[in-house]
């Protein structure tokens, strides 16, 4: 069984004075996901540019705003997207420079992720030998993977959805952002080296670090992978506040 | 490569866009709206107080005006702003130091319920006085 889907698609090409919206009507299977709709539109109009890769929420490449809200279209069903609506609205993520149609420039986002030294991983990994290892057992002090027989799954797929959802990112691109701060918190948990811990905490400190966050918790609400960046930001704030109070009274923070 | 950025005004509009968002975003918007309102009130308050320099002739007629039901209603709006901003601010402070982070939604609902009780109580006091 298939269904007709009316789609209002955001369109913008370099050199255009302003973005515009173009309406399409495509036919997809009843069980289709929104990425199938985007691909069906592309088959009608090959000038549409969009990013996609894995089709199963492990790469985070295809993230868009669907009906005004950040989603991974590869795992979001058409049925759900059309609930209570006659038409599906597809737009690029916010708070990124726009390249073309649904494609945004994610270079700045990845630079911030890299600054933390690693991406976000699950708190415990089930290894191929049946044991569960903590991250500190899987990585050495330099942050390199050890040779344990592990299955490594990453929670954060670096889709950028948290950046688009965060209202503070609307104010400034300089803000380190939810994913970057969550990566710092994760890197901090993964090392036993006090000097590295201290450096990571210092990276999260400052006007564009954790103190810039205005506690809207939208990053955690929107994250399709339960990374909980807001929780990580609050954890960093807690430790930074404790450090500052200790230093205020002459202690070593 | 040529890239486009939303204008600052358009980006600032995202601060008030609550469509499809979570409870935390509503709390964020409420805190901004009440915060801006309280700052505006502070300046109006300072201007009004400057009327004292005109002596009783300037001040007494003004006092009669602010005892009208319209101004009493505005007093209730002001108290609402204080309570909502203050209690929501307490939630932000607590979560900001890592306390009750996982309960932030429940905390918001609880504090806003407290604010509602406070607003009703203060409205009764204002209009009965």
Nearest to B28 among A67, A94, A167 (CB): A167
pLDDT at A119 exceeding the cut of 50? no
Question: What pLDDT was estimated at residue A173?
Answer: 84
**Domain B20-128, architecture per CATH:** Up-down Bundle (1.20)
Strand ranges (E), A115-204: 125-126, 132-133
Q: Which candidate in B4, B100, B111 is best for mutational testing of the A interface (most A CBs within 10 A)?
A: B4
Query: Does the beta carbon of B101 lie under 8 angstroms from any beta carbon of chain A?
Result: yes
pLDDT-derived band at A148, boundaries 50, 70, 90: low
Domains annotated on chain A, with CATH:
2-104 (3.10.20.30), 107-120+155-248 (1.10.1060.10)
% of chain B surpassing 70 pLDDT: 96
CA nearest to A113, candidates A59, A50, A157, A172: A157
d(CA A235, CA B96): 8
Contact list, A218 vs chain B (CB under 8 Å): 21-22, 24-25, 28
Residues for chain A: how many in total? 253
pLDDT-derived band at A152, boundaries 50, 70, 90: very low
pLDDT at A217 exceeding the cut of 60? yes
Domain range summary for chain B, segments of one domain joined by +: 20-128
Q: Which residues contact B44 (CB under 8 A, 6 or more apart)?
A: none
pLDDT-derived band at B128, boundaries 50, 70, 90: confident
pLDDT-derived band at B24, boundaries 50, 70, 90: very high
Question: What pLDDT was estimated at residue B12?
Answer: 81
Residues A181-192, mean pLDDT to the nearest whole number: 86
CA nearest to A14, candidates B34, B26, B90, B5: B5
Beta bridge pairs of residue A9: A22, A90
Q: Are residues B6 and A93 in contact, defined by beta-carbon separation less than 8 angstroms?
A: no
Q: Are residues A146 and A138 in contact, defined by beta-carbon separation less than 8 angstroms?
A: yes
% of chain B surpassing 90 pLDDT: 61
Verify whether the Cβ–Cβ distance B96 to A237 is below 8 Å. yes
CA nearest to A226, candidates A145, A105, A123: A123
Question: What pLDDT was estimated at residue A251?
Answer: 73
d(CA A250, CA A220): 36
With an 8 Å Cβ cutoff, the interface of chain A facing chain B consists of: 12, 14-16, 19, 67-69, 94-95, 97-99, 105, 165, 167, 170-171, 214-218, 220-222, 230-231, 234-235, 237-239, 241
Question: What pLDDT was estimated at residue A149?
Answer: 53
Residues for chain B: how many in total? 129
pLDDT at A244 exceeding the cut of 60? yes
Verify whether the Cβ–Cβ distance B102 to A231 is below 8 Å. yes
d(CA A44, CA A37): 11
Query: Does the beta carbon of B7 lie under 8 angstroms from any beta carbon of chain A?
Result: no
pTM, to two decimals:
0.83
Nearest to A234 among B2, B11, B96 (CB): B96
How does DSSP assign B69-92, residue by residue? HHHHHHHHHHHHHHHHHHHHHHHH
Query: Does the beta carbon of B96 lie under 8 angstroms from any beta carbon of chain A?
Result: yes
Verify whether the Cβ–Cβ distance B22 to A218 is below 8 Å. yes
Contact list, A217 vs chain B (CB under 8 Å): 22-25, 104-105
Q: Are residues A38 and A102 in contact, defined by beta-carbon separation less than 8 angstroms?
A: yes
Helix and strand numbers, DSSP H then E, in chain B = 5, 0
Verify whether the Cβ–Cβ distance B25 to A237 is below 8 Å. no
Alpha helices, DSSP H only, in A173-228? Answer: 178-190, 194-204, 218-222
Question: What pLDDT was estimated at residue B83?
Answer: 97
How does DSSP assign A38-88, residue by residue? HHHHHHH-TT-------SSSSS-TT-EEETTEEE-TTTSBHHHHTTT-SSE
Question: What pLDDT was estimated at residue A233?
Answer: 95
Q: Are residues A6 and A87 in contact, defined by beta-carbon separation less than 8 angstroms?
A: yes
ipTM of the complex: 0.83
% of chain A surpassing 70 pLDDT: 85
Nearest to B97 among A170, A218, A237 (CB): A237
Please state, as a whole number, how many other Cβ atoms lie within 10 Å of the Cβ of residue A231. 19
Verify whether the Cβ–Cβ distance A235 to B3 is below 8 Å. no
How many Å lie between the alpha carbon of A36 and the closest alpha carbon of chain B? Answer: 23
Verify whether the Cβ–Cβ distance B25 to A167 is below 8 Å. yes
pLDDT-derived band at A192, boundaries 50, 70, 90: confident
pLDDT-derived band at A11, boundaries 50, 70, 90: very high
Q: Are residues B41 and B78 in contact, defined by beta-carbon separation less than 8 angstroms?
A: yes
d(CA A6, CA B13): 27
Verify whether the Cβ–Cβ distance A221 to B97 is below 8 Å. no
pLDDT at A154 exceeding the cut of 80? no
Query: Which sign does the torsion angle of CA A6, A10, A12, A18 carry?
Result: positive
Verify whether the Cβ–Cβ distance B1 to A14 is below 8 Å. yes
């Amino acid at each position: 069984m298939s269904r007709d889907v009316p789609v209002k698609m955001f369109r913008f090409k370099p050199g255009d004075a302003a973005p515009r919206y173009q309406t399409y009507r495509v036919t997809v299977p009843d069980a289709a996901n929104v990425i199938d709709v985007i691909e069906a539109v592309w088959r009608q109009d090959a000038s549409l540019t969009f990013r996609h890769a894995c089709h199963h929420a492990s790469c985070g490449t295809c993230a868009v705003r669907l009906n005004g809200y950040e989603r991974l279209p590869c795992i979001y069903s058409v049925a759900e997207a059309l609930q209570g609506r006659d038409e599906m609205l597809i737009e690029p993520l916010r708070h990124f420079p726009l390249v073309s149609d649904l494609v945004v420039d994610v270079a700045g986002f990845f630079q911030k992720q890299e600054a933390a030294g690693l991406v976000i991983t699950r708190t415990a990994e089930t290894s191929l030998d049946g044991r569960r290892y903590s991250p500190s057992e899987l990585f050495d002090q330099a942050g390199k993977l050890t040779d344990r027989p592990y299955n490594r799954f990453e929670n954060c797929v670096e889709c950028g959805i948290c950046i688009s959802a965060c209202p503070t990112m609307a104010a400034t691109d300089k803000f380190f952002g939810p994913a970057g701060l969550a990566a710092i918190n994760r890197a901090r948990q993964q090392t036993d080296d006090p000097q590295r811990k201290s450096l990571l905490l210092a990276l999260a400190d400052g006007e564009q670090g954790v103190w810039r966050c205005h506690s809207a918790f939208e990053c955690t609400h929107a994250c399709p992978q339960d990374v909980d960046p807001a929780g990580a930001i609050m954890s960093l704030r807690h430790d930074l506040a404790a450090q500052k109070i200790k230093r205020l009274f002459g202690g070593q923070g | 490569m040529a890239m486009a950025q939303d204008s600052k005004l358009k980006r600032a509009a995202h601060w008030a866009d609550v469509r499809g968002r979570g409870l935390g975003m509503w709390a964020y918007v409420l805190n901004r709206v009440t915060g801006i309102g309280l700052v505006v009130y502070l300046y109006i308050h300072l201007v009004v107080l400057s009327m004292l320099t005109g002596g009783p002739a300037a001040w007494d007629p003004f006092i009669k005006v602010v005892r009208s039901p319209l101004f009493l209603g505005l007093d209730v709006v002001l108290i609402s702003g204080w309570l909502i901003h203050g209690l929501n601010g307490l939630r932000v402070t607590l979560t900001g130091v890592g306390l009750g982070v996982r309960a932030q939604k429940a905390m918001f609902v609880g504090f806003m319920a407290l604010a509602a009780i406070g607003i009703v109580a203060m409205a009764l006091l204002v209009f009965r006085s």
